[in-house]
Structure 1
Amino acid sequence: MPIQQSGKRLRVPWLRKLDENDLPVTLPVFMAYCMVAGSLRSWNRIGTKTIVTLVTGDDFYYPVFAEAARFFARQIWDGQSFHGNVLQWSDKNFRHEAEALRDERAILFAPLSYQIQDDDRLLSDAVVPLGPRTIRHAEAALRRARLPITGESVELLMTEPWSRLSRAFQDRRDPLQAIQRLRSLPKAIPPAEPEAASPPSTLGLTLSDTHGFGSGLIEWGHDLAKDIADYKAAIIPWRDVENGVLISGPPGVGKTMFASILANTCKIPIIYGSASRWQEAGALDEHLKAIRASFEEAIEKAPSILFIDEIDVFGSRGETDRNSAYMRAVITALLQLLDGFERREGVVVVGACNQPDLLDSAITRPGRLDRHIAVPLPDAEARRSILKHHSGVTLCSADYKVYEMATEGMTGADIERLVRDARRSARRQSERLNGDHIIRHLRPLIKLPKAYVHALAVHEAGHALVSHEVGYAHVADITISRWRVEGDYRALGCVEYDVAADRPRTRSFFENAIAVCVAGIAAEIEVFGSFSQGAAGDDAADLNRATELATAMERAFGMGHTLAVEKFSPDAFARMRASDPELRREIHNVLATELERARSIIRMQRDAHEALVTRLVDADQISGMEVDEIIRKHRRPTVSLAKPERRVAT
């Protein structure tokens, strides 16, 4: 007897098995699709006709959910009849409403900021709340991406903002790489209060009052303020004013605050733009209108500063994903406004981003944003100043030492949140904010066992000794830590090098660099018989860096088995290694050779290595001069173990 099918689809997509013919979507889009499908179970029938409104909550990011809704709609509606009627009520106009009525199908999102009207309810067949993301959604997305389902990965997908997930998981990037990138970055700090329409006021602060931005950016800001003053006084023409800069750095270092403080210093108005907010304006024509409106406002108020946040969202015109045509049009419009035929006299454009390498090179060419200044994480002195600025509290010397260790790697935003929490605690206790409240809200410090500290010293001394012996670079200093911040697993040891800029980057140079990278694990193997997992994992780990250098030699620099080269790209390198067994063998041979060379150096100079370890365990930090002195005192005479530089024809 034939089986009759009702046409009803399985209502919960996270329970169904992966179909090899499934359309390609990124991991966060599939997770959002599960949320959409779960909320629209009653309409999850093939061929159904409906116009439905999904009321969103705080956990919503339109670009991801729009693509998820289209993915859902393509499966239940006839793709030839569906014209993409996935909209936000705040963006909907008469044309969109007409298209929805014509197709008799649409999914409309109503954000929290939008008040649904009676006419909206009349148009919609149903108004349904969009459910929250759940652990089942995250597990289904990991399963679909063929990734192991671990508690750490599930927690990452459940807690990361959609905007960060969207940027991390891209069509061209392996999902495992995306997860590793997210793990390597500091966790996004949720705002304590709802995000305001404009950045918070800096209360008249100027560059002279601030710390933590790095000397290069502060110096550039003071020079700009002088040039703006001279321009206003008609002493210099606008063409002599540097009117474009790109500032980059990790989230929370204060890029937006810097732009506001810069405007205060220059005594000119600032107009805030954001690549993501411009994109939220709607379709391409609305998107371009929003960009032009910001430039027009800046020109009307000139001299002024136009601050463009998240400018790396624009990406590059060389990308070939499903949104490439759309983004090419947007980038072209931005380039035209940056110079082109529409000059922007009186407007200083400050672009800010987290990943400057994603930007189209045309945006940073001379005449546009041709100066790039990186904003570093604040050092110990800057973190003290930031604490003083936000709290007015001065700690004693012992507390400052604890504070500096516990806040290492924190941004200005992290410290501001720390002070806010401490101030709240003081209010609850009816006390005035003091140092005790600050210290109690620091991340707990865990003292490392002596054996662990000794292992750190063995590892870092290995790097320094091999660098000295192969002539790779002068060691500036070696540092290890006796404390670890609870829940933070960053590197606890570091060797800083002074690499001569004028040395030719030959194959020998890179082989020496690889030997130095693997010298830490070489020392561990010689002393302990094995090495720890800290040598690999994130992009900055020893084996990861050595692997990238070896790949670059073989495929990007023409120094391997072929002169045919590819563009230097870590993402492309990872795909090459995954798909090319011969390349993996070549890289393995390079790494194995340099590891054995590093081990032979450690064996030959074991006395010098042990002296470095002993001194490092006692002092926690050794200067480069002291490193040289210890090695000279304990070094056994031998032939040079450096790879000889190849002669360059003249």
Structure 2
Amino acid sequence: MPTKQSGKRLRVPWRKKLGENDLPVTLPVFMAYCAVAGSLRSWNRLGTKSIVTLVASDDFYYPVFAEAARFFASQIWHSLRFHGNVLQWSDKNFRHEAEALRDERAILFASPLYEIQEDDRLLSDAVVPLGPRSARHAEAALRRAGLPVTSENVSLLLTEPWSRLSRAFQDRRSPLQALERLRSLPKPAPAPVADGVAERTPSSIGPTLSHMHGFGDLIEWGYDLAKDIADFRAGIIPWRDVETGVLISGPPGVGKTMFASALANSCAIPLIYGSASRWQEAGALDAHLTAMRKSFAEAMEQAPSILFIDEIDVIGNRVETDRNSAYMRAVITALLQLLDGFERREGVVVLGACNHPDILDSAIKRPGRLDRHIAVPLPDAGARRSILKFHSGVTMCTADYELFDLATEGLTGADIERLVRDAKRSARRQSQRLNSEHIVSNLRPLIKLPEAYLRALAIHEAGHAVVSYEVGHSQVSCMRISRHKVDGEIRELGYVEYQLPVPQRRTRQFFENAIATFLGGIAAELEVFGSFADGAGGADGADLNRATDLATALEGSLGMGHTLVTGRFEQSESSNLRLYLPELRREVHDILETQLARARATIRAQRPALDAVADRLLEAGELAGEEVREIIGHHRRSIVSLAKPSRRGGM
């Protein structure tokens, strides 16, 4: 397990690859081992000398965790010197303490009912919370045991009391026999365990970061914060080294509130909810400020903690000059005072959430306050599938997933959760177990596109790819067309994703190549069908709109047109510039006309490559960039380079 370079162990056991978990422990002990190793990450070094106390939550069973801790200790401490110094504080006696001091190593558990004394803290190098078992631990244990990683199996491992898991999974039984035996016997009512505390399942704890899907960089930030807070509580780092403020933004329903709850659970610290709109509902200014200060005070009392400020964009900014501006300036000033300085809120991480971060006062986003901003996008296809699996436990076939991906495009996690609720209701009405048919039947109605329409889509997207290849603007990384559309909804049914090969100088030629690439789809339609469809223009992200805005910037603000005069370019104002400046409108028209002619010439010259890409896209539905380049390279004709278009007079 240890690496050869640094002597460090793998940071967490559940991230190991299959085949590496060759451990002589039972399945529940391995789950507990994951929790112990996660809490003791900072001590995952060979030869570490430390006496550490793990403070257990209600989800605790000493016999299992003691065995897990012994295995963890045997991996990081020399086996000849380790005498099994894994103890409960309630059972610790003078001999045990003497052995721990002699060996300079021990792992001590404080059960939920045990109150740690000052002498206990003096003996311990660190007092660290022991996190509860999670879905990630259960999945890792199932993989190691060679059992199917299904939602039913994961749920069973998370909801069964530790004592029953320990009795079911024994060395003399195979893991599959133990799992079946556990299912076959009825689950008794919760009973007190040996220390007088009834076991509580993790379902009462709520989601952790391992349950979150589609949050991108926010998840990595959350894991880093959990590690920093654990290091702070262990006395390894001061609070000033912990990032104490972040702003997250995204459309309603993407799961910002659920993420805050999962973050607090993963950090094993309290979550205090402080909605800006609820503060405002308190009424007059004094009541508003009192409610806000009360939330911060509560977070300080429970520190370390997370203060979640929902709808923080309601506060606005101090630039506004309406009749409420004086009121809101006072609120913003008070919030800045509460956010400033690590001493004033040591132990409190402030997590602000909003839909419109651009309207938030810039002072709130300065360093030392909410200086990191992470946007939460709508979940992509992979994330939507994971959200579906989390809420339903259903795995669908490829064809059903294709329908699901299309029908749920643009939906949030909350929308998918509602979809699963509807599907479960349908299954109950039919007295059936939830399956993919119930989910598909509750999707938004889909219309299968006719072959002629699909052919036009494929020609359009292939035109972008061929022109981009020929002018050398960028490389295609992926292209796709949809075979269905959502009834009554206007959306993109095909797209090409690009990747710039290397950083390059953004000259006039660079922008002309980009405009030609944007117009490649229209050029292909004109050459093949003699006309192009309305999807190429009108919407903000349509090909013709993007090409027009780029040509406007080229002529009107970048100094690369007929004059070196530049100006600040706002995309929202580009249409007004063209409307009120006839000369600029003519220049933009000339650029578009020139680049369209260039793109059409490219399509004519490379018609075999266009048809080959379109045929393959029509067949597969999605192509990787490498395959696109291979097809074009195989079918293209050698012609004079079109990368440098002829200049107009005077240029």
Place the TM-score, normalised by the shorter chain, in its bin: 0.5 to 0.7
1:391 match: 392
2:219 match: 218
1:252 match: 253
2:379 match: 378
Alpha carbons of structure 1 residues 524 and 274: separation in structure 2 relative to 1, 3 Å: farther
Q: Distance in 2 between matches of 1:427 and 1:444?
A: 22
Q: Which amino acid in the other structure matches residue 548 of structure 1?
A: D
Bigger mean CA deviation after superposition, 345-354 or 285-294: 285-294
Q: Which amino acid in the other structure matches residue 406 of structure 1?
A: A
Q: Distance in 2 between matches of 1:502 and 1:397?
A: 38
1:544 match: 545
1:314 Cα deviation after fit: 4.1
| Cα pair 2:209 2:222 within 8 Å, conserved | no
1:206 Cα deviation after fit: 4.3
1:489 match: 490
Q: Which amino acid in the other structure matches residue 598 of structure 2?
A: R
Q: Distance in 2 between matches of 1:308 and 1:459?
A: 46
1:122 match: none
Q: Distance in 2 between matches of 1:389 and 1:224?
A: 24
Q: Distance in 2 between matches of 1:450 and 1:374?
A: 39
Q: Distance in 2 between matches of 1:352 and 1:225?
A: 19
Q: Which amino acid in the other structure matches residue 243 of structure 2?
A: E
User: 1:153-232, aligned counterparts within 5 Å?
Assistant: 203-232=204-233
Q: Alignment partner of 2:274: what SS?
A: strand
Q: Which amino acid in the other structure matches residue 424 of structure 1?
A: R
Q: Which amino acid in the other structure matches residue 434 of structure 2?
A: L
Q: Distance in 1 between matches of 2:398 and 2:617?
A: 24
Q: Distance in 1 between matches of 2:356 and 2:549?
A: 19
User: 1:521-560, aligned counterparts within 5 Å?
Assistant: 521-560=522-561
Q: Is there any run of 5+ residues in structure 2 with no aligned partner, and where?
A: 1-201
Q: Alignment partner of 2:612: what SS?
A: helix
Q: Which amino acid in the other structure matches residue 589 of structure 1?
A: D
1:463 Cα deviation after fit: 0.9
Bigger mean CA deviation after superposition, 374-383 or 284-293: 284-293
Q: Per-residue CA shift, 1:168-191, capped at 9, x if unaligned?
A: xxxxxxxxxxxxxxxxxxxxxxxx
Q: Distance in 2 between matches of 1:319 and 1:579?
A: 29
| Cα pair 1:202 1:257 within 8 Å, conserved | no
Bigger mean CA deviation after superposition, 256-265 or 394-403: 394-403
Q: Per-residue CA shift, 1:297-342, capped at 9, x if unaligned?
A: 3223221112222334444545566766655554444333322698
2:351 match: 350
Alpha carbons of structure 1 residues 221 and 519: separation in structure 2 relative to 1, 3 Å: same
| Cα pair 1:244 1:368 within 8 Å, conserved | yes
| Cα pair 1:546 1:591 within 8 Å, conserved | yes
Q: Which amino acid in the other structure matches residue 595 of structure 1?
A: L
Alpha carbons of structure 1 residues 459 and 241: separation in structure 2 relative to 1, 3 Å: same
1:262 Cα deviation after fit: 0.3
2:239 match: 238
Q: Which amino acid in the other structure matches residue 306 of structure 2?
A: I
2:423 match: 422
2:588 match: 587
1:212 Cα deviation after fit: 1.7
Bigger mean CA deviation after superposition, 275-284 or 386-395: 275-284
1:227 Cα deviation after fit: 0.6
1:418 Cα deviation after fit: 0.6
1:444 Cα deviation after fit: 2.2
Alpha carbons of structure 1 residues 462 and 281: separation in structure 2 relative to 1, 3 Å: farther
1:349 Cα deviation after fit: 1.6
Q: Distance in 1 between matches of 2:301 and 2:578?
A: 53
Q: Alignment partner of 1:443: what SS?
A: coil
2:89 match: none
2:614 match: 613
Alpha carbons of structure 1 residues 625 and 398: separation in structure 2 relative to 1, 3 Å: closer
1:253 Cα deviation after fit: 1.6
1:506 match: 507
Q: Alignment partner of 2:252: what SS?
A: coil
Q: Distance in 2 between matches of 1:339 and 1:496?
A: 43
| Cα pair 2:476 2:628 within 8 Å, conserved | yes
| Cα pair 2:478 2:623 within 8 Å, conserved | yes
Q: In the alignment, does 2:625 pair up with 1:624?
A: yes
Alpha carbons of structure 1 residues 538 and 318: separation in structure 2 relative to 1, 3 Å: farther
Q: Which amino acid in the other structure matches residue 531 of structure 2?
A: S
Q: Distance in 1 between matches of 2:561 and 2:335?
A: 41
| Cα pair 1:212 1:377 within 8 Å, conserved | no
| Cα pair 2:214 2:384 within 8 Å, conserved | no
| Higher Rg | 2
Percent of aligned pairs with the same residue? 68
1:344 Cα deviation after fit: 2.4
Q: Per-residue CA shift, 1:208-256, capped at 9, x if unaligned?
A: 5314233422221111111111111221111111112222233222111
Q: Alignment partner of 2:479: what SS?
A: strand
Q: Distance in 2 between matches of 1:359 and 1:594?
A: 41
Q: In the alignment, does 2:303 pair up with 1:302?
A: yes
Q: Which amino acid in the other structure matches residue 217 of structure 2?
A: G
TM-score (norm 2): 0.63
Q: Is there any run of 5+ residues in structure 1 with no aligned partner, and where?
A: 1-200
1:261 match: 262
User: 1:36-51, aligned counterparts within 5 Å?
Assistant: none
| Cα pair 1:422 1:437 within 8 Å, conserved | yes
Alpha carbons of structure 1 residues 595 and 343: separation in structure 2 relative to 1, 3 Å: farther
| Cα pair 1:202 1:261 within 8 Å, conserved | no
Q: Alignment partner of 1:627: what SS?
A: helix
Q: Per-residue CA shift, 1:526-551, capped at 9, x if unaligned?
A: 22122111112332221222233233
TM-score (norm 1): 0.63
Q: Which amino acid in the other structure matches residue 602 of structure 2?
A: I
Q: In the alignment, does 2:437 pair up with 1:452?
A: no
2:275 match: 274
Q: Per-residue CA shift, 1:336-372, capped at 9, x if unaligned?
A: 3322698322121222233434444443333222323
1:430 Cα deviation after fit: 4.2
Alpha carbons of structure 1 residues 576 and 329: separation in structure 2 relative to 1, 3 Å: farther
User: 1:309-324, aligned counterparts within 5 Å?
Assistant: 309-318=310-319
| Cα pair 1:336 1:342 within 8 Å, conserved | no
| Cα pair 2:209 2:259 within 8 Å, conserved | no
Alpha carbons of structure 1 residues 398 and 626: separation in structure 2 relative to 1, 3 Å: closer
Q: Distance in 1 between matches of 2:280 and 2:583?
A: 44
Q: Distance in 1 between matches of 2:566 and 2:328?
A: 28
Alpha carbons of structure 1 residues 362 and 230: separation in structure 2 relative to 1, 3 Å: same
Q: Which amino acid in the other structure matches residue 411 of structure 2?
A: M
Alpha carbons of structure 1 residues 608 and 216: separation in structure 2 relative to 1, 3 Å: same
Q: Per-residue CA shift, 1:410-462, capped at 9, x if unaligned?
A: 22111100111122233334444333322211122211111110110111011
Q: Alignment partner of 1:544: what SS?
A: helix
| Cα pair 1:509 1:645 within 8 Å, conserved | no
Q: In the alignment, does 2:605 pair up with 1:604?
A: yes
Q: Distance in 2 between matches of 1:576 and 1:284?
A: 44
User: How many residues align structurally?
Assistant: 446
Alpha carbons of structure 1 residues 636 and 399: separation in structure 2 relative to 1, 3 Å: closer
Q: Distance in 2 between matches of 1:255 and 1:616?
A: 37
| Cα pair 1:263 1:270 within 8 Å, conserved | yes
| Cα pair 1:207 1:221 within 8 Å, conserved | no
Q: Alignment partner of 1:418: what SS?
A: helix
Q: Per-residue CA shift, 1:19-68, capped at 9, x if unaligned?
A: xxxxxxxxxxxxxxxxxxxxxxxxxxxxxxxxxxxxxxxxxxxxxxxxxx
Alpha carbons of structure 1 residues 347 and 446: separation in structure 2 relative to 1, 3 Å: same
Q: Which amino acid in the other structure matches residue 515 of structure 2?
A: I
Q: Which amino acid in the other structure matches residue 458 of structure 1?
A: I
Q: Distance in 1 between matches of 2:238 and 2:485?
A: 54
Q: Distance in 2 between matches of 1:520 and 1:359?
A: 39
2:442 match: 441
Q: Distance in 2 between matches of 1:533 and 1:383?
A: 30
